[in-house]
Chains A and B, each alone.
Chain A
Amino acid sequence: MRNVRAMVVLISLSACAAVCAQTPPVRPATDSYVANVQPFVNKYCIACHNGKKEAGGLDLTLFRDTASVVKSSANWAAVKDRLDAREMPPKKHPEQPTAAEAKRIVEWIDREFARAIAATPRSPGRVTMRRLNRDEYNRTIRDLVGVDFQPANDFPTDDVGHGFDNIGDVLSMPPILLEKYLNAAESIVTRAFEGEAAPQVTRRFGVKELQTTTAKTDVVDVRFEKARWLAVAGTVFIECDIPRAGELIFRVRVAPKNLNDKESLRLAFRVDDKDVRTQPFRSQNNNPNILETKTTVTAGRHKIAVALLNPDESDKPLREKRGAAITWIEVLDPPLPRQRPAYDRIMIGNVKDESKDRANEIFGRFAFRAWRRPVTQSELGRLVSLYELAIMNGATFEQAIASGLQAVLVSPHFLFRVETDRTPDRPDRSYSLNDWEIASRLSYFLWSSMPDDALFQLAKEGKLRDGSVRAAQVKRMLHDPKAAALAQNFAGQWLNLRLLASIQPARRDFPSFDESLRIAMQQETEKFFHSVVVEDRSVLEFLDADFSFLNERLAKHYGISGISGEAFQRVMLTDGRRGGVLTHASILTLTSNPTRTSPVKRGKWILENILGTPPPPPPPDVPDLEETKEAIAKGTLRERMQQHRANPNCATCHERMDTLGFGFENFDAIGGWRSNDGKFTIDASGVLPDGKKFSGPAELKKILKSTKANEFRRCLTEKLLTYALGRGIGPGDRPTVEAISQTVAANGNRMERLVLEIVQSDAFLRRSLKQ
């Protein structure tokens, strides 16, 4: 994170890099740092930032010369920031530098950094071969076999690096994972071959639909249910259409009546007047039972009947005779043949053909799609050998094919996104990716999955290295439903949305919070993100927008009327308070504590994820806010927070975080609007370090949108680039980030433009050889 942070500052300097580079660097006899900066540091900083106290995690005694400063750009970017904002040294420090003194140091840092950037060779960078993460694995299998099996849900969670779980270096391959891959491959192929049974249709015919062969039968009551009464020779039956030939199941709910201990009814179950089964029947306390019969039928109309074979021949009244009361007859149609879409997709060619040639054909197509590139003859040959080995060991054609398919799915070519080293074609020792590699980079960036047939076709034609073709593909892909992956995976991690699942607001304080609200919150932000993508809106709308997506539950939570139902609708927001992710209940909740809001967490979240300037972590030895009843009675949260901002160790960073966070105090810990906190009126006003004043979230959002647009664009560019490349952003990427965010700014801040610029960048299309 600290590197990223430094980046932002450095990038802002890169514009001046060219200018600065024109002045030939003067090499003073003594080191520039020692001569120009160290005296300042010793006088104003070292009392706290030394090896012992390490205030803010910073030990300035470690720096002895200019080179060491440049190397530790993250720390010195922070130093520059603080000096520039006149946040350091803290007001309580006995010695205060003059404005000119501070300015001189800021300029020195600027100059040295610019020099360092100018000296840094520009490079497309090198991503480490990426293993598919869990989500990518699931989606890739879905697109490969055409059925959404979700096998990766059993895999261990992937580690996160640089804020995302698709970072090549962090995605390791311990044995447990290979074990899971072996099992998954086996179960995917088995399930694909077995197919899924189609749900069976059940029809029930109640007493009104039951017919009888004899007029003497009528309706009786059995435990509050109406039933057909069968006490004389004859049947109770139905006639119904059976849609297809096959095994028919029918069930009869029947209760014996007027039986003595020694008697049984003899019942026959008939289809088209033929006995399928006869059986004696009695039951405890003459309770109703369900009797099931199976038989094979043809398609068409059939008569299904129950007959009484031993009618009571006595001359008792009909109702008192021994008999059967039939409540209903149920018919289960013969099942549809098993659906095997995945099997059909994989087992191409003539089904009757079980030759080696067909195996070859099947493997060729499957491996090509699974490995996302043409398969070599030797690779294919080895797959066929595997198949032959299985046949030799007595496997059937299908089993032998299955072994080859499993091998394809466990192969490193499937599990990793391989980009092999090639001869560099540019002086910076980088080479351009081939069409297949570009196809995969595109599909995993925008869909978290493998390329589709259209991308494969373009790759085959060698067209993906053409910028305008790529641009058209980006447009197409962003409008494909698969682009939902970008909202779930990129936005889910950029905005920390995935953490919402583990947030537990205290039930006592927020009784209205429940799972349906949690899910609605998450959906709002995902849908909002998705709409900015597909509607190609300005990225600045993430900061403030006049619309969102709400369902009834969430609208009620927001106090917005007129929205009903579970489905989300696009809603125009008119009050200026809501709108933009900063005021989504999701973000407001995941940046709160279980019992109360946390302006610190909210401010920190904005600094990290919106402005790209994360604060350093607190020193370990910091007092927490008092949460006791007496403390709460003492004053508002803001007043209580003032206490700990009195501590100079905390004040600087907290000024930055808390000011932003307090601007959103009108939203409670689950994002509901409020004007009071307990008995205190909410004060959501503040003054930003640059002197801009605001009162309430609407004004703060406007200020952020108008004055922090640059920072936000850079931050978003960096995050999206990190996600697109699957690696951390390094010094060689600085010019790329700066160029992209400037182009986006010059083009109405359009989201599609941002995606496109990333896709068209060297970093995306090329790869450096090993540094």
Chain B
Amino acid sequence: MFHAEITRRTALRGFGTILALPWLESLATNSGIAAPAPSGPPKRLAFLYVPNGAHMADWTPSATGKEFTLPRILEPLAPYRRHLNVLSGLTCDKARPNGDGPGDHARSLAAFLTGRQARKTAGSDIKVGVSVDQVAAQHVGSTTRFSSLEIGIEPGRQAGGCDSGYSCAYSTNISWRGESTPNAKEIDPKQLFERLFAGKDSRESAIAAAKREQMRKSILDFVREDAKRLKGDLSANDVRKLDEYLESVRELEGRIERFRQPVDPKLSAGVTKPTGVPRDMAEHLRVMADLLVLALQGDLTRISTFVFANEGSNRSYASIGVPEGHHDLSHHQGDKAKQEKISKINRFHVEQLAYFIGKLNAVKEGNGTLLDQMMIVYGSGIGDGNRHNHDDLPILLLGGGGNSLKSGQHIRYSRETPLTNLYLSMLDLFGARADKLGDSTGRLSGIV
């Protein structure tokens, strides 16, 4: 553990120096981003997911309002209490069977940001709905280099079934750009780094870089034409696949057109390029969080999802003294020892969340910090892993939302309040107003 910590620090030496860089001071001009709106730095969204529910006894504060004691799992967030809302009683109804039988894990991740019931299929016609991050991305995505960023630390399962007749696409993907098109997530920090900082050779001359971009553009032109012509010879699902392809072409073309200059080297200066996937889970989560902070800070994206582990994940947490599988443990049957271990895993995850929040808080931006501009949802689509209930979910809302969020409270909502109501409120603040998202019934009170 100690060793791993040292390694990570060594690897990421230099992050501290960049964090002092004020927002857009140099980035805006250098990266070809339009000058910031007079209203100041933009708001950003992040959705962080943890699987298998939580040990709610150690999660939910006993008091509501502003005067509450942080329970054990949430303790690591104490320094950021001012920016924390604990939202109790929210429900993800579409994670329930609603006649579809077993498969809570797959459904939970699929429904968490979509509020829609995943179609029960092992893979013939996957369908759920567009997720909130993508609703936001479609609204403002073209302003930034990446309309959204999807990251995680676990690859998809490589064989067999994932959950009771549901395709693995549901239990691995949280972000859905179309109702049948999940956004695959990046789990390798090295790949993420190269993607964010374009993997460009710093010695490449501006002329060479421009030529390269020009070439890419003409290649994309070519393949778009290919796809368009091909479309005429296809039907049904084939057309859907080609539409996915065409949309992706458009996205990349837009990126090349709008962002002719490479990312400001100041942003990644001093950051040692990660060499691969760290063995230690905490280190892995933190390196990914570091890179996400950079991406948000440099305004490479304003929207992100971060899956701490796939839903139903049975990985072992040996490094914190819990060698058993997470999912196996979550069916604890009231066994105190198992609940204790679940609680430990939950707290471990929140420690990593706190690390992420801390990093955001250390970035100065405008008159405040990057955290002030953030709206971060952290939680699970399952309440108690043993009962597999989807009401009273463990949900946190963090960040200042551009000084528009009321924070520092524990709010208990009435039963069956849809989680998607929270998202509608967030979309309002983000400037991507929507009338409905999945099973939403309105806006969430108490946070604005």
Across the two chains, which residue of chain A brings its CB closest to B228?
A412
Greatest chain A CB density within 10 A among B172, B184, B236, B333 is at: B184
- With both chains docked as a complex, state the minimum distance between the C-beta of A397 and any C-beta of chain B, in angstroms: 15
Known: A421-B233, A728-B122. A173 touches B245 (CB 8 A): yes
A160–B168 contact, CB under 8 A? Answer: yes
Interface check A79, CB cutoff 8 A? no
**Interface contact A594-B167, CB-CB below 8 Å:** no
Known: A617-B164, A622-B333, A728-B123. A411 touches B182 (CB 8 A): no
Contact A175 B248 (CB under 8 A): yes
- The A-B contact count (CB < 8 A) is 257
Asked whether, in the complex, the Cβ of B101 is within 8 Å of the Cβ of A57, the reply is yes
| Interface contact A169-B237, CB-CB below 8 Å | yes
Q: Which residues of chain A are near B158, meaning CB under 8 Å?
A: 157, 160, 165, 492-493, 498-499, 501
Q: What are the residues of chain B within 8 A of A608 when measuring CB–CB?
A: 160-161
Instruction: Mark each residue of chain B from 162 to 192: 1 if its CB lies under 8 Å from any CB of chain A, else 0.
Output: 1111011100110001001111111110010
Q: Which residue of B lies closest to A58 (CB)?
A: B101
B237-295 residues at the A interface, CB under 8 angstroms? 237-238, 240-242, 244-245, 247-249, 251-252
Q: Establish whether residues A177 and B199, one from each chain, have CB atoms under 8 Å apart when the complex forms.
A: no
Contact of B387 among A156, A170, A176, A620 (CB under 8 A): A620
- B155 at the binding interface (Cβ < 8 Å): yes
Chain B positions 64 through 104: 1 when the CB is less than 8 Å from some CB of chain A, otherwise 0: 00000000000000000000000000000000010101111
Interface residue B223 (Cβ < 8 Å from any Cβ of A):
yes
A176 touches B124 (CB 8 A): no
CB under 8 Å from chain A, chain B span 327-385: 328, 331-333, 335, 338
- From A258-266, A276-284, A402-410, A678-686, give the one contacting chain B: A402-410
Q: Please give, as numbers and ranges, the residues of chain A lying within 8 Å of B7 by CB-CB distance.
A: none
Produce 1/0 per residue, A370-414, CB < 8 A to B.
000000000100110010011001110000000100110011110
- Shortest B77–chain A CB gap in Å is 29
Instruction: Please state if A170 and B252 are interface contacts (CB–CB under 8 Å).
Output: no
Kindly supply a per-residue 1/0 record for chain A positions 189-203, scoring 1 wherever the CB is within 8 Å of any chain B CB and 0 otherwise.
000000000000000
From B121, B123, B169, B328, name the one whose CB has the most chain A CB atoms within 10 angstroms: B123
Q: A335 to chain B: closest CB distance in Å?
A: 24
Question: What is the minimal beta-carbon distance from A180 to any residue of chain B, in angstroms?
Answer: 8
Residues of A with C-beta under 8 A to B332: 624
**In the complex, A616 Cα to B223 Cα: how many Å?**
45
Residue of B nearest to A616 (CB): B102
Please tell me if the beta carbons of A159 and B173 are within 8 angstroms of each other in the complex. yes
> Cβ of A770 < 8 Å from any Cβ of B?
yes
Q: Is the CB of B164 within 8 A of A172?
A: no
- Whether B160 contacts A183 by the Cβ 8 Å rule is no
B251 nearest in chain A by CB position: A175
Among B99, B150, B199, B222, which residue has its beta carbon within 8 angstroms of that of A386? B222
Provide the bound-state CA to CA distance between A614 and B164, in Å.
10
* Cβ–Cβ contact B214 & A172, under 8 A: no
- In the complex, are the beta carbons of B223 and A170 less than 8 A apart? no
- Whether B218 lies near A389 (C-beta < 8 A) is yes
Q: A178-B252, A412-B242 are in contact. Are A170 and B230 (CB under 8 A)?
A: no
A289 within 8 A of B: no
Tell me whether B442 is interfacial, beta carbon within 8 Å: no
Q: How large, as a class, is the contact surface on chain A?
A: 35 or more
Q: Mark B417-435, 1 if CB is under 8 A from A, else 0.
A: 0000000000000000000
Partner of B124, one of A383, A403, A727: A727
Give a binary string over A594-610; 1 marks a CB under 8 Å from any B CB, 0 the rest.
Answer: 10000000000000110
A163 interface residue, CB < 8 Å from B?
Answer: yes
How distant is the Cα of A159 from the Cα of B170 in the complex, in angstroms?
9
Query: With a CB–CB cut-off of 8 A, which chain A residues contact B185?
Result: 156
Residue B18 CB within 8 A of the other chain: no
Residue of A nearest to B163 (CB): A617
B159 interfacial by beta-carbon distance below 8 Å: yes
Taking CB atoms, residues of chain B closer than 8 Å to A648 are none
Choice from B123, B186, B195, B219 contacting A161 with Cβ under 8 Å: B123
If A163-B122, A174-B184, A499-B159 touch, whether A386 touches B218 (CB-CB below 8 Å) is yes
Closest residue of A by beta carbon distance from B162: A160
A416 within 8 A of B: yes
Contact of A169 with B124 in the complex, beta carbons under 8 Å? yes
Contact among A54, A493, A504 for B159, CB-based, below 8 A: A493
Mark A147-162 against chain B: 1 for CB-CB distance below 8 A, else 0.
Answer: 0000000101111111
Q: Does A497 reach chain B (CB closer than 8 Å)? A: yes
The reply on B323 being an interface residue by CB < 8 A is: yes
B3 to chain A minimum Cβ distance, whole angstroms, is 18
B122 touches A594 (CB 8 A): no
Interface residues of A in 412-466 (CB under 8 A from B): 412-413, 415-416, 418, 420-421
A739 at the interface (CB under 8 A from B): no
Whether a CB of chain B sits under 8 angstroms from the CB of A167 is yes
A128 touches B323 (CB 8 A): no
Q: A159-B168, A411-B222 are in contact. Are A154 and B244 (CB under 8 A)?
A: no
What total of chain B residues lie within 8 Å of the partner, measured CB to CB?
86
Chain A contact surface mostly: loop
Distance A170 CA – B162 CA, assembled complex (angstroms): 13
Partner of B101, one of A54, A413, A420, A730: A54
Q: Are B102 and A57 in contact (CB under 8 A)?
A: yes
The reply to whether B188 and A175 form a contact with Cβ atoms under 8 Å apart is no
By the criterion CB–CB under 8 Å, are B169 and A179 in contact? no
Once the chains bind, are A403 and B215 in contact (CB under 8 Å)?
yes
* CA–CA, A413 and B165, complex, Å: 32
B5 contacts A by Cβ under 8 Å: no
**Which chain B residue lies CB-closest to A3?**
B122
Complex contacts, B199 vs chain A, CB 8 Å: 183
Instruction: Out of B156, B226, B325, B331, name the residue touching A160 (CB < 8 Å).
Output: B156
Chain A residues near B164 (CB-CB < 8 A): 1-2, 57, 616-617
Q: Which residues of B contact A158 (CB under 8 A)?
A: 156
Bound CA span A727–B316, Å: 33
Q: Which residues of B sit under 8 angstroms from A168, Cβ to Cβ?
A: 237, 241
Contact flag A412-B227 (CB < 8 Å), given A493-B158, A728-B123: yes
- Which A residue's beta carbon lies closest to that of B241? A129
The answer to whether B225 and A622 have CB atoms under 8 Å apart is no
For residue B117, CB closer than 8 A to chain A, the reply is no
A176-B155 CB under 8 A given contacts A160-B162, A410-B219, A416-B241? no
Tell whether A497 pairs with B159 under 8 Å between CB atoms, given A420-B234, A728-B124. yes
Assuming the A-B contacts A163-B160, A382-B225, are A174 and B241 also in contact, with contact meaning beta carbons closer than 8 angstroms in the complex? no
Q: Answer yes or no: A290 CB below 8 A from chain B CBs.
A: no
Q: Contact partner of B244 among A174, A383, A389, A593, CB < 8 A? A: A174
A504 to B167, CA, bound (A): 25
Most buried by B among A129, A390, A421: A129
Residues in A whose Cβ lies below 8 Å from that of B123: 160-162, 167, 169-170, 727-728
Residue of chain B at shortest CB distance from A390: B215
B9: CB under 8 A from chain A?
Answer: no
Whether A62 is near chain B, meaning CB under 8 Å from some CB there, is yes
B11 CB to nearest A CB, Å: 19
Known: A159-B169, A407-B223, A421-B235. A172 touches B331 (CB 8 A): no
A496 at the interface (CB under 8 A from B): yes
Taking Cβ atoms with an 8 Å cutoff, the residues of B that contact A are 97, 99, 101-104, 121-126, 147, 150, 155-165, 167-169, 172-173, 177, 180-188, 191, 195, 199, 211, 214-216, 218-220, 222-223, 225-227, 230, 233-238, 240-242, 244-245, 247-249, 251-252, 316, 318, 323-325, 328, 331-333, 335, 338, 386-388
Give A residues with C-beta under 8 Å from B.
Answer: 1-4, 54, 57-59, 62, 126, 128-129, 131, 154, 156-165, 167-170, 172-179, 182-183, 185, 379, 382-383, 386, 389-390, 393-395, 403, 406-407, 410-413, 415-416, 418, 420-421, 492-494, 496-499, 501, 504, 506, 593-594, 608-609, 614, 616-617, 619-624, 727-728, 730, 769-771
20 A–B contacts, CB within 8 A, in A order = A57-B97, A131-B241, A156-B184, A156-B185, A159-B167, A160-B167, A161-B123, A165-B158, A176-B186, A178-B248, A407-B218, A407-B219, A412-B230, A494-B159, A499-B159, A593-B328, A616-B101, A617-B163, A620-B388, A621-B387
